[in-house]
Amino acid sequence: MVVIFVVIKGSRKFKINKEKMKIGDVFRELGLNVEEYIPVSNGNIVTEHDEVKDGDLLTLYPVVSGG
Amino acid sequence: MAKCSFCNRRAIFYSRVNGKFFCEKHFLKYFDRKVRRTIRKYHMFGKNETIVVAVSGGKDSLSLLHYLSKLSKRAPGWIIKGLLIDEGIAGYREHLIGKFIKTCNELDVEYKIVSFKEEFGYSLDEIVKKGKQLGLPYLPCTYCGVFRRYLLNKESREMGGTVLATAHNLDDVIQTFLMNILNNNWDRVARIGPVSGVITHVRFVRRVKPFFDILEKETTTYSILHSLYPDKNVECPYAPLSFRWYIRKFLNDLEMRNPGIKYSLLNSLVEVLSLLREKYRESDLKTCKICGEPSSQEVCRACMLRRELGIL
């Protein structure tokens, strides 16, 4: 079982418990579009193909901003 | 761990368009090559230029300021300056101004901050309120866009700018393209190219978009890599009211299902621009008879709006 914490910078927080998963699965789990966020795991930018590890803190940086 | 398609290092960026992975080094190389190609292709800058970068304090414009400042080290005839327009939106712009000043100081770039309040006597919040009370039909983005463009031209000229660089990226450009198609505004489509064209008015500063071919996802990655991403990601409170908001969401959903559709739309724009420029030739600009700034009509849009708002 993998437990990770996800923060969307500047707004919501989530906790996800799941079997083995990739960053792309986290997006699907939360109903988010991979085109709209840059995932940063424990301080490093990662891609949708990277796997998440137990205890990871994933911060999603919104691509869309401003007006 | 996903690896770079070029060197086997840890990947930080994946292009869903061509299936390639990029490590930090190769991503920055790719980014630099794309921007330089755009600058060259559209003859954006000459050997000697004072480039005023229009900065909102957000990730895209800070990235452009950072990128051009670094590039100027290889172009001895270039001077880079930063210009920020503070519209006066409570709880929004003030977060970004500090980051702008800090970045300018770190890059050793001269800057200027101009506000709607000091220039027009009213902040955007006050203007929006006034417009509502008067029953004017405009969205906040109309006032903001018109007054901001007016000030960017006037102030960059007063800063000695020979060219004004804005951080409009590929996403911004195709959103504007689609919005104008849906509104049947082809004359406006003719004006959204990467350079403003040859306009000879003595008070008009040429405008260029060096990020014309760069996805917003790529400017965001560049900003995170250089610690330029705002500490507080505060959205403009007026943004969800705009037509652009829906178009942006629609295009992002489309891109997720059909990777590459954004580039296709940009290419469609480039294709149609050459045809439209024949039909909507940029005539010499007139001079606004109220403020003396360049205008396509007898009175510029900023003065027209100010007149309607009763603040002229």
Instruction: Choose the most confident range, by mean pLDDT, from B63-72, B179-188, B197-206, B278-287.
Output: B63-72
Q: Do A49 and B2 touch (CB under 8 A)?
A: yes
- A47·B224 Cβ contact <8 A: no
CB nearest A48 (choices: B14, B144, B229): B14
- Strands of the B110-115 sheet, one edge to the other: B110-115, B78-86, B49-55, B163-165, B206-208
Q: What is the mean pLDDT of residues B54-78?
A: 95
For residue range B119-129, list pLDDT tens digits in order.
999 999 999 99
Residues sharing a CB contact under 8 Å with residue B34, sequence separation 6 or more, in sequence order? B213, B214, B218
Question: Band of the pLDDT at B91, cuts 50, 70, 90?
Answer: confident
Q: With an 8 Å Cβ cutoff, is B218 touching chain A?
A: no
**Predicted-complex ipTM score:** 0.90
Among B216, B224, B230, the residue with its CB nearest the CB of A40 is B224
Task: Give the count of Cβ contacts less than 8 A between chain A and B.
Answer: 75
Q: If you average pLDDT over each of A52-61, B91-100, B241-250, B268-277, which comes out highest?
A: B268-277
Q: Which domain holds residue A30?
A: 2-62
Whether the CB of B231 is below 8 Å from some CB of chain A: the reply is no
What does pLDDT average to over chain B? Answer: 92
Are B12 and A48 inside 8 Å of each other by CB? no
| pLDDT value, residue B187 | 87
Please, which pLDDT band fits residue B149 given cuts at 50, 70 and 90? very high
Pairwise pLDDT comparison (B280 vs B58), residue with the higher score: B58
* Residue A65: predicted pLDDT: 67
The token pair at A11 is: 């707004």
List of chain B residues whose C-beta atoms are within 8 Å of the C-beta of residue A9:
229, 233
What is the count of structural domains for chain A?
A: 1
| Token output for B266 | 């940009």
Question: Hey, are the CB atoms on B256 and A34 less than 8 Å from each other?
Answer: yes
All residues of chain B having their beta carbon less than 8 Å from the beta carbon of residue A47 are 2, 11-14, 21
The verdict on a CB contact (< 8 Å) between B59 and A48 is no
What is residue A67's predicted lDDT score, i.e. its pLDDT? Answer: 45
A63–B255 CB contact, under 8 Å: no
The stretch B248-265 carries a mean pLDDT of 96
Q: Is residue A27 part of a domain?
A: yes
Quick check: is A67 in a domain? no
* Maximum separation of any 2 CA atoms in chain B, in Å: 63
Return the pLDDT at A66: 56
Whole-Å CA distances, B224 to A17, A45, A60, A62, B103: 28, 8, 11, 11, 14
Q: Measured between CA atoms, how close is B77 to chain A, in angstroms?
A: 32
Which residue among A10, A49, A64 places its CB closest to the CB of B14?
A49
Question: Where do we find the tokens 């900065």?
Answer: B55
- Look at B259 and A30; give whichever has higher pLDDT: B259
User: What pLDDT sits at residue B57?
Assistant: 85
- Examine residue A6 and state whether it is found in any structural domain, yes or no: yes
* Third-level CATH fold of B42-283: Rossmann fold (3.40.50)
**Do the bridges between strand B163-165 and strand B78-86 make them parallel or antiparallel, or are there none, so unpaired?**
unpaired
Question: Are the C-beta atoms of B215 and A63 separated by less than 8 Å?
Answer: no
- Contact (CB<8Å) B233/A64: no
Are A61 and B234 within 8 A, CB to CB?
no
Residue ranges of the domains in chain B?
Answer: 1-34, 42-283
In percent, how much of chain B has pLDDT > 70?
Answer: 96
- Of A1-5, B22-26, B90-94, B112-116, the one with minimum mean pLDDT is A1-5
Q: Does B253 touch chain A (CB under 8 A)?
A: yes
Is there a domain that residue A24 lies in?
yes
Task: Decide if pLDDT at B55 tops 60.
Answer: yes
Residues B18, B33: Cα–Cα separation, whole Å: 16
Q: A67–B225: do the CB atoms touch at under 8 Å?
A: no
- Give the model's confidence band at B56: pLDDT under 50 very low, under 70 low, under 90 confident, else very high: confident
The pLDDT tens digits of the residues spanning B93-121 come to: 777 898 999 999 999 999 999 999 999 99
Query: Do B56 and B113 contact (CB within 8 A), yes or no?
Result: no
pLDDT digits (tens, 9 = 90+) for A11-61: 667 777 777 789 999 898 888 999 999 999 988 999 999 998 888 888 899
Least confident residue range of A40-44, B39-43, B97-101, B238-242? B238-242
Per residue in B200-221, pLDDT (tens digit) is 788 999 999 999 999 999 999 9
CB-nearest to B255 from A11, A35, A67 is: A35
Q: What is the CATH number of the domain that holds A30?
A: 3.10.20.30
